[in-house]
Structure 1
Amino acid sequence: MHTNPVYTQFDIENHRQSKWWHHRWVKILGIVFIVLTIVAVTLSLLLKFVILAPTKPENIITSTSSSRVTTIIITTATVASTTTESTTTDTLPLTSTSTTTESTTITSTITSTTVTSTTVTNTPQSRWLNTSNMNDGRHKHTASLLKNGKVLVAGGNGEHVLNSTELYDPSTEMWTITDSMNNSRYAHTASVLADGKVLVTGGYDGNAYLNTAELYDPLTETWTVTSSMHDARSFHAANVLTDGKVLVTGGYSGKTILDSTALYNLSTGTWTVTGSMKQARDGHTASLLADGKVLVIGGFGNGNPLNTAELYDPSTETWSTRSNMHYERQYHTASVLTNGKVLVTGGYHRSATENSAELYDPSTGRWTIIDSMNDARHNHQASLLTYGKVLITGGYGAHILNSTELYDLATGIWTNGGNMNNARDYHTATILTNGKVLVTGGDRGSTSLNSTELYDPSTVLV
């Protein structure tokens, strides 16, 4: 029975057409799903490896040696190898070169330079540091740098006039007692001779002014008496000449101020009288110049402080007058500078203490006034430092001083050298082989000091 065949055929065709469109939509949806999947994967990779990639850390190394550092970082999808090589002498940033290979087919090479800044904080340290105390408090003593680097301190005035001596060892910063001198004495001189021995001359023992002299031998650490000078003298000066002899000038004999001078010959152990100075004086200075002559300056004579200067020539053993300083002064200092000129500072001038300073030029024989010190002072010390500046320490001005100052030859300017831990005058200042300055003892009014301290030019001034 055939009923409505057309409708049946239509239905069939209609069903086929519907089935075709169904398959087509499935394909379309499948393609869309694949596209969306690809987009999602791409976005995920971008997020992971580009947008949200971790920042490379900065590398700072503080080192004083060369080093090679290799760091390997492994993740699920990435293998990165970073090799850094640096040579530093301080805190410096590192420069890194890294190669990264991803799990995709894309390979990239990234070179980056990291710049960092480092703040270095220096802890300020005083230029003046206490070191161990001497066994005896003393002032108007001597301190001599021995050839073994130790410092010999001899005599001085303390609770009584001293014959004790002691040695300072810079390597341990300790004092040890050594053999005592044959005579107690202060206001004497001490000279380091060519053979390393120390010649001590004159001074005052509390009862009499001395003409005695003795030698200290660092090898045996003993004192032996040598021949006496022709004149007793204190507050005199002594210089080791280029031929090894010792020239002693002026001083006070207990009766009169002296113009006499004498030469000590180490090889014979004897004294000979040499030419007298033009002016009797004590409390003066005597400086060995580059040409081997000796310049004597100032001091006290004729009842007043002196501004006169004179020159000793060892080749003729005679004295010649030089031009006068601008100021009278006694108990001043005189330092031969690296350019051969002589720097004179401070001193006592009649009823006042000087802060003035002047330079003597041996090539012209003339004096030039320079900038004054910040503090007037006498009975102070001057030390020519290893880098050419002059360190002035302590002394007496309006009172006993703990102030110090530095003279810069290059600029002609005075600057603050920092305060010592103790005010002191009639002390000593010795330049050690390490460039530091050892200050010992001194007077602090009613007390003779046993304290000592070190000046270190390399430390920061506070």
Structure 2
Amino acid sequence: MPLSACSPGRGDGLSQEGTFTVAVMPAELTLEARRTAAVTVAIARLDGFADAVEVSATLPAGISADSLVIPPSQSSGQLVLRSAGTEAATRVPVTVTATSATHTSTAAFALILVGNASPRLALTPATAAVFVGERTSLTPVFDGDRASIDGIGRVQSGVAVETPPLSRATTFTLRVDRGNAQVQAQTTVQANYRNRIRALDSAPVAQTNHVAAALPDGTAIVMGGNTSESSSVPDSTLTQIFDPATEKFARGPDLMFSAQARLFTSVAPLVSGGFLLAGSGLNAPVGALRSVVTQLFDPAVPGLTPVGDVATRGISTRTATPLSDGGALLTGGLAGGTNPVTDSADRYVSADQKWHAVGQMLHVRVGHTATLLRDGRVLIAGGLTCCQVPNPSPEFYASTAEIYDPATDAFTETGSMSAARGDHAAALLPDGRVLISGGDGNDPAAPPLSTELFDPATGQFSSAGDLQAPRDSHSAVALTDGRVLVIGGEVPPELAGMVGVGVSATEVFDPATGRWSAGPALDPAFYAATVTMLSNGKVLVFGGQDAGGSPQAAAALFE
């Protein structure tokens, strides 16, 4: 808005000839903290005025203006205002002064200051949820010196970055350095299961009675057993690596000693990301029931390395359990002589990479479960107890349970299950309880359909409902969303009329509701297939044998 066109006639000592007026638009201008905004300064040239005009403004503290000179050939220009971000929110009048060599004119507008808003700090995902194993992108927006996202690395404001494959609901943290201070923002991306089983291309080599383990780099390794390359030999040193990126198998490094699951070789995943193979195959040079050799896979060392023999010799079919200190526990199994079921226990200590005998369990067991609890103790439940002389009870399968404490290497009694069972499965729930399912019981014609929950706080078991289909030698996999997938195994031989009939039905337990529901069908379903939880949250099912005992190369993913 024009205020004046000064002249000597008004007492300012300037000539009245060739004057101008100035106007500013808009009449009100909003300026945000640490931003810029501009007004248009218009010059109305009168009486042939043709000089350049310099524009200035009276501004509050924290606000500056770029220099502006309107040349003779133009009648307007943009006066750019800049906020330092230190000003308070207010409304102030601003006077704009236009000056030539001979004349001055002024105009005013209202400047609305938003004030010193909080520095920008936000982390926004492209989508709030993905399917397990998929990626998404995150866009950080921030004011600061430098920034990074945990698990991803350095980032730039406004530039989207890709996440790794998500196995579970994942919270990402953006950390921004501002001088000597650090601020952070977080966002959570959900990862949901499709609840389907998808068949993959078959592996190059079929395997059964093999063992499997997930590797820290996201792949999985399947090892040993009876293979299609040597179908008449029950054990082998062959390995295959599954790559979740390509969803294909490739030949892996040979084992140092052959492996044969179910009878001679036990695998224990370690908290370090590696695993132990305890025991060798029937045709290994050391002999199946003599020295129990051990192979260690350490993520920091290529290949497998020997770590000595298990302290107790001559035992097979042992149950292996990781310990929270990086070691492992071997319990029970079959030994030679008149008392084939044993109560022995051996502990692998990662510090010295040696095995140590830790005494005896309270009961002889084989085909039992041994589950690492959240407090570091181990729950040992059920199993076959027959064939000890004298037989301690008329039951073939046990309902008893006991606790191993690695702090003392002692075994203590705890509550018993309601049903005696062996070759069952156990899974640790997110709340620390243990789910027991399926198995064989003392009535071959009526295997236990019941499932039970062990509560470490009380030391007691309680009912968790019934399975829809009986099964033994199956897997119970704790999914990343807290549910448990029961998959694989065999139809109890008394019901199937033969050994080795696979179970196609799967079932899912939801601890949030305490209910079981039917899962997707596994087709084909082979007995002795391995079930491996991958680091991307998907579950790999591989191999096994058909009704004739021939090894299979089929592979599938639960996702």
Q: TM-score scaled by structure 1?
A: 0.68
- Name 1:454's counterpart in structure 2: 557
Whole-angstrom distance in 2 between the partners of 1:139 and 1:324: 34
Secondary structure at the residue paired with 2:260?
coil
- Name 1:310's counterpart in structure 2: 402
Give the letter for the 1:242 counterpart.
S
Whole-angstrom distance in 2 between the partners of 1:385 and 1:289: 17
Whole-angstrom distance in 1 between the partners of 2:382 and 2:260: 21
- 8 A Cα contact 2:277 2:295, kept in partner: yes
- Name 1:395's counterpart in structure 2: 489
Residue 326 of structure 1: how far off its partner (Å):
0.9
Are positions 1:273 and 2:357 aligned together?
A: yes
- 8 A Cα contact 2:257 2:280, kept in partner: no
- Name 1:11's counterpart in structure 2: none
- Name 1:201's counterpart in structure 2: 278
- CA displacement, residues 116-169 of structure 1 (integer Å, 9 cap, x when unaligned): xxxxxxxxx981111232333223322111111110111223422122111111
Report the structure number with the largest CA radius of gyration: 1
- 8 A Cα contact 1:203 1:233, kept in partner: no
Alignment of 1:131-210 (within 5 A): 131-158=200-227, 159=231, 160=233, 161-187=235-261, 188-205=265-282, 208-209=288-289
- Name 2:16's counterpart in structure 1: none
**Of 200, 212, 226, which residue of structure 1 is paired with 2:293?**
212
- Tell me: CA distance 1:272–1:164, structure 2 relative to 1, closer, same or farther (3 Å): same
- 8 A Cα contact 1:202 1:212, kept in partner: yes
Residue 239 of structure 1: how far off its partner (Å):
1.7
How many residue pairs get aligned? The number is 335
- Name 2:307's counterpart in structure 1: 226
- Tell me: CA distance 1:241–1:208, structure 2 relative to 1, closer, same or farther (3 Å): closer
- Name 2:137's counterpart in structure 1: none
Whole-angstrom distance in 2 between the partners of 1:194 and 1:410: 27
Q: TM-score scaled by structure 2?
A: 0.57
- Name 1:339's counterpart in structure 2: 431
Residue 441 of structure 1: how far off its partner (Å):
1.3
Are positions 1:407 and 2:509 aligned together?
A: yes
Alignment of 1:3-402 (within 5 A): 127-158=196-227, 159=231, 160=233, 161-187=235-261, 188-205=265-282, 208-209=288-289, 211-218=292-299, 221-229=302-310, 230-255=312-337, 256-303=340-387, 304-350=396-442, 351-352=444-445, 353-397=447-491, 398=496, 399-402=501-504
Whole-angstrom distance in 2 between the partners of 1:248 and 1:455: 29
Residue 220 of structure 1: how far off its partner (Å):
5.8
Whole-angstrom distance in 2 between the partners of 1:176 and 1:213: 24
- Tell me: CA distance 1:317–1:257, structure 2 relative to 1, closer, same or farther (3 Å): same
Whole-angstrom distance in 2 between the partners of 1:136 and 1:253: 32
- 8 A Cα contact 1:331 1:378, kept in partner: yes
- 8 A Cα contact 1:248 1:262, kept in partner: yes
- Name 2:53's counterpart in structure 1: none
Secondary structure at the residue paired with 1:331?
coil
Out of 247-256 and 339-348, give the one that drifted further. 247-256
Are positions 1:445 and 2:547 aligned together?
A: yes
Give the letter for the 2:237 counterpart.
N
Give the letter for the 1:272 counterpart.
H
Structure 1 unaligned spans of 5+? 1-87, 90-124, 457-462
Give the letter for the 1:239 counterpart.
T
Q: What is the alpha-carbon root mean square deviation over aligned residues?
A: 2.2
- Tell me: CA distance 1:201–1:439, structure 2 relative to 1, closer, same or farther (3 Å): same
Give the letter for the 2:365 counterpart.
R
Give the letter for the 2:513 counterpart.
T
Which is helix-richer, 1 or 2? 1
- 8 A Cα contact 1:146 1:192, kept in partner: no
Per chain length, whose mean CA-contact separation is higher, i.e. which structure has more relative contact order (CA < 8 Å, sep 6+)? 1
Identity %: 34
Residue 438 of structure 1: how far off its partner (Å):
0.6
- Name 1:428's counterpart in structure 2: 530
Give the letter for the 2:557 counterpart.
L
- Name 1:57's counterpart in structure 2: none
- 8 A Cα contact 2:489 2:502, kept in partner: yes
Residue 322 of structure 1: how far off its partner (Å):
1.2
Whole-angstrom distance in 1 between the partners of 2:485 and 2:222: 20
Structure 2 unaligned spans of 5+? 1-125, 128-193, 388-395
- 8 A Cα contact 1:179 1:221, kept in partner: no
- CA displacement, residues 69-109 of structure 1 (integer Å, 9 cap, x when unaligned): xxxxxxxxxxxxxxxxxxx99xxxxxxxxxxxxxxxxxxxx
Give the letter for the 1:227 counterpart.
G
Whole-angstrom distance in 1 between the partners of 2:361 and 2:531: 28
- 8 A Cα contact 1:183 1:205, kept in partner: no
Which is strand-richer, 1 or 2? 2
- Tell me: CA distance 1:358–1:197, structure 2 relative to 1, closer, same or farther (3 Å): closer
